[in-house]
Structure 1
């Protein structure tokens, strides 16, 4: 079944899983692909579960009421049978580090390769004051015409990050077309005509905000811009009740920075990526 013909089923299963598991089973990139480029998605859809393959990234979700009946195994077997000749390694995320997902992955040759933490900060806690920018650096919100510099810094800052570092102009425009986008919430640090770094914030609701992306040009690191931009974004989000962010568990400098600004991580807020060579 083509994914365009099964979107209502996919959404129904994903919504049910999110309600029960407390974590969204499909990430933003997958949702944007389903919306804008559904013809690039390979799909296996049943009434009680689905598998989606975008490039080499697999999403597999089973309706909570149907779990324990072999739906996930049947779907994964079908995916592996139809991709047996594909040379690329398959990857899949367990959002919320579900034990059943880990068991299914392990039984089919997948091994854990990355951990992504969600860290949270209640905005009822006072924020440190926003320091003045370094000499020659100006902070401002996004303006039309900034796209090329923004993509340049993003690619440099996330050169080793498989998802964020590959952001294209089309991908940027898709995100800027979302209802949550606000130019003032994309805070940029400029030195003349050169972008040094940025903090893209996101409001999910009137009560929940996100440190969506913080990117610093490697040539501008060591000047305190990461902390400055993170704080500037948090001051922009003072009207929400909580702010969360996603960070690689082994990114020690970033975890230290966010911890110092009042963010904490709970074990349940761990997402694990599995890879099948």
Structure 2
């Protein structure tokens, strides 16, 4: 199978569908999705900081795809090659194109964006990806752990409680968007992906079939509240002097027997109150109440505090995603 020259530019709807089919074909062989949620949501995006690269076979079928994002502090990429088109130089061509694209300035025009070092995600930490990275002169600079735990032991458990001074409710689309975005940005100010979430990103997720506001919890400061009390799902804020202190968002794809603790965030001003532990318990209780078999989540391998919280909640390691960077950049530790 021989590829045509690479196509660079926005994707039309048929090509978006073909890339999704390509990703499905790779996952069926590799056992891990080659593209994460964000690139898949951005397949139809025409943005100055996003570059789409497509490789085709002589017959015109999509044989490979790469997406480069220059909108953060550096440039990152994800790429996939069809299982039937591997070891033909397509992956290396996609990577070379991503490396050149990483040197372009971002829309922000910040001088530091010129000559950015490319980082490349590989999902599932597969041997083939490690070999490809090593041959290209890349090494691991970041690890994203995939954790899970069974939910059977939580069936019928007592409802979690929130500390005195806080109340819990579910997210109201449209009414809570801006407040959530502000706290998310504060909670993940140092996170290269989550901290960049925009209103458009939130809207894209709200449009997904899996989105369910009943599985999206907000914890607020409740001035003048009484003693600690059971969790109540009582809708939107009633206008009292309440401020968002943290949140937990769950994700349950249709037909799946497992649910994801999609993201947990606590405002820096509310750190130390044990809200992360409470929110995790809320999420687990919600997923168990839906009759699911397992809860899963992703967490950075160097986030010691979060790892302790999840280990105490019964989570164990299932797999890992890794991010690579060129060995000669100085990003690789001793």
TM-score (structure 2 length as normaliser): 0.76
Aligned partners of 2:273 and 2:77: how far apart in 1?
Answer: 39
Q: CA deviation at 1:185?
A: 0.8
| More RCO (CA 8 Å, sep 6+) | 1
TM-score (structure 1 length as normaliser): 0.91
- Secondary structure of 2:310 counterpart: helix
RMSD of aligned Cα (Å):
2.1
- The size of the alignment, in residue pairs, is 275
Equivalent residue in structure 2 for 1:221, among 271, 278, 283:
271
Gaps of at least 5 residues in structure 1 are: none
Q: CA deviation at 1:130?
A: 3.5
Q: CA deviation at 1:155?
A: 0.8
Distance 1:220 1:104, change over 3 A: same
Distance 1:271 1:198, change over 3 A: same
The yes-or-no answer on 1:109 pairing with 2:137 is yes
Q: CA deviation at 1:81?
A: 5.1
The yes-or-no answer on 1:245 pairing with 2:302 is no
Q: Quote the residue 1:87 is aligned against.
A: 115
Equivalent residue in structure 1 for 2:253, among 201, 204, 218:
204
The answer on whether the counterparts of 1:227 and 1:257 sit within 8 Å (CA) in structure 2 is yes
Q: Quote the residue 1:162 is aligned against.
A: 192
Q: Give the 5 Å matches for 1:26-175.
A: 26-37=35-46, 40-47=50-57, 48-55=63-70, 56-80=75-99, 87-126=115-154, 129-143=158-172, 144-175=174-205
Aligned partners of 1:217 and 1:78: how far apart in 2?
Answer: 39
Distance 1:64 1:181, change over 3 A: same
Q: Quote the residue 1:182 is aligned against.
A: 212
The answer on whether the counterparts of 1:10 and 1:45 sit within 8 Å (CA) in structure 2 is no
Q: Quote the residue 2:312 is aligned against.
A: 260
Runs (4+) off by over 3 Å? 35-40, 77-86, 127-131
Q: CA deviation at 1:174?
A: 1.5
Q: CA deviation at 1:196?
A: 0.6
The yes-or-no answer on 1:275 pairing with 2:325 is yes
Gaps of at least 5 residues in structure 2 are: 1-6, 58-62, 105-113, 223-241, 330-334
Distance 1:125 1:46, change over 3 A: farther
- Secondary structure of 1:174 counterpart: helix
Could you list the per-position Cα deviations for residues 176-204 of structure 1 after superposition, in whole angstroms to 9, with x for gaps in the alignment?
12111111111010114210100001111
Aligned partners of 1:80 and 1:114: how far apart in 2?
Answer: 18
